[in-house]
Structure 1
Amino acid sequence: MHILRPQFRIEQDRALAFAAERGFGAIVAADERGPCASHVPFVVLRRDDSVIVQIHLTAKNPLVALADGNRRFLLIVSGDDAYVSNDWYASRDNVSTWLYEAVHLSGVAHLRALDENRGHGDALLAVSEARLPKQPWDLAKMEPAKRESMLASIRVIDLVVEEIEGQSKLNQHKSDEDHVAVTNQLARAEETGSRRLAGRMRTLRPELEYEFGKRGLETAAG
């Protein structure tokens, strides 16, 4: 990942927490024909001293054959993004831009044995169901024959994380006046992601005065 400015860098522990909370990204690897990518849910695990990103793919996915224990994979995890118009700034002669947050996790990918599919499914569902306001659903509630057929159709891959990179581009280098002006514009946006970014920008400089207080931003974000 190219870090545009030092102040945009997300330190590693926070970047890993960001990825784990998102739980969805694009996994990428390449062979002699070029890059191959899939969009996948994932779970972050700790195993001994290693950080593991565990994903699953259908058995016929070309990435399965590439997870040979030698090839490096890249997981791209994107957060919210928002376009910022030139005339949103308080000062003149800025450049229209995009604000965003993203994390890259990379390392060697290893194919797991089929008997680990159930454990992966249980772990992934536990994390995903916990995000919903209901009693969690799990694989034990599934009809056994259908469950085993489903589990047999996937392959689990461990990405042993060797490099963690993160970037939070939230106009940290701009003046207080420009920071407030852009934050206020994002807070008024219809898009939920823009309003969430406004909230995060406010936390970067909480001492400034915004059109939306903390409660107002929470309400605006729904």
Structure 2
Amino acid sequence: MRQNPSFAMTDIAELRRLIEANPWMTLVSQTEDGLVASHYAVLLDDERDDLTIVGHMGKPDDMIHGLGERELLVVVQGPHGYISPGWYGGGSQVPTWNFVSAHLSGVPEVLTAEENLVVLEKLVERFESRMPDPRLMWTPPNDPDFVRRLEHGTVGFRLTPTKVVAKRKLSQNKTPEVVETILAELSGDGPYANPSLVAEMRRAHDALADGRRSHS
């Protein structure tokens, strides 16, 4: 992802929020047979306060990716959506796409079976705990043998990225009037209504406004 200083996202807290809110990620590796991509749910490592993530791959994806032996690129995709040139007012304009995304790369550490069990348990708890009657990993009818077989079919990993490229392109280069028009269009009932993108845009532009006030 080509970086643009105007859209760079560097705040660790904001990047952690992006990762936490968008756990379904794309994992990419360069192999002898070319690029390979997989898709898995990934979590922040709750024992760290940086951008370290934990997750797992089902076998044999770990072998295909060369997990632990070569660089892994993890693509985090946040809210995104189409922006019509008609929302910019007069003059020549082109359509574009607003988005928030981060690329985390590095060589991951392969977890032990016990560490992988902990990660699997946390993954299940993260999503299942919202259910009215949660079926957690160790909840019957799951028994220990079943859980161990489940773990044996996966390989856990921990990735502390050595390179992070994150971009928040949310019309920061437009006038406040144009931004409000875009927000109104995205907030309405039109074909490109997008509440999650509206929330990200407001967050980014509020931060810009706070920054301008602090320097005035």
TM-score (norm 1): 0.80
CA contact (8 A) 2:172 2:205 kept: no
Distance between the aligned counterparts of 1:63 and 1:190, measured in 2?
A: 46
Q: Partner of 1:99: helix, strand, or coil? A: strand
Alignment of 1:131-170 (within 5 A): 132=130, 134=132, 136-142=134-140, 143-144=142-143, 145-170=145-170
Q: Partner of 1:104: helix, strand, or coil? A: strand
Alignment of 1:18-29 (within 5 A): 18-29=18-29
Alignment of 1:1-222 (within 5 A): 1-4=1-4, 6-13=5-12, 14-45=14-45, 51-61=51-61, 63=63, 66-68=66-68, 70-130=69-129, 132=130, 134=132, 136-142=134-140, 143-144=142-143, 145-189=145-189, 194-205=194-205
Judging changes above 3 Å, is the alpha-carbon distance between structure 1 residues 51 and 174 closer, same or farther for their aligned structure 2 residues?
closer
Structure 1: gaps spanning 5 or more residues: 207-222
* Structure 1 residue 46, shift from structure 2 partner: 5.3
* Structure 1 residue 135, shift from structure 2 partner: 5.4
Q: Partner of 2:196: helix, strand, or coil? A: helix
Judging changes above 3 Å, is the alpha-carbon distance between structure 1 residues 155 and 62 closer, same or farther for their aligned structure 2 residues?
closer
Amino acid at match of 1:163: K
Q: Percent identity?
A: 21
CA contact (8 A) 1:16 1:164 kept: no
Judging changes above 3 Å, is the alpha-carbon distance between structure 1 residues 175 and 135 closer, same or farther for their aligned structure 2 residues?
same
Judging changes above 3 Å, is the alpha-carbon distance between structure 1 residues 120 and 113 closer, same or farther for their aligned structure 2 residues?
same
1:53-105 CA distance string (max 9 Å, x none): 1111111115566123x411110010121111111212321211011111111
Q: Partner of 1:88: helix, strand, or coil? A: helix
What is the aligned-residue RMSD (CA, Å)?
Answer: 2.5
* Structure 1 residue 38, shift from structure 2 partner: 0.5
Amino acid at match of 1:42: V
Which residue of structure 2 lines up, in the alignment, with residue 217 of structure 1?
none
Distance between the aligned counterparts of 1:189 and 1:82, measured in 2?
A: 14
Distance between the aligned counterparts of 2:136 and 2:192, measured in 1?
A: 30
Distance between the aligned counterparts of 2:87 and 2:54, measured in 1?
A: 41
Distance between the aligned counterparts of 1:173 and 1:179, measured in 2?
A: 9
Structure 2: gaps spanning 5 or more residues: 207-216
Distance between the aligned counterparts of 1:16 and 1:73, measured in 2?
A: 19
> Which of structure 1's runs of 4+ aligned residues deviate more than 3 A?
46-51, 62-65, 133-137, 189-193, 202-206
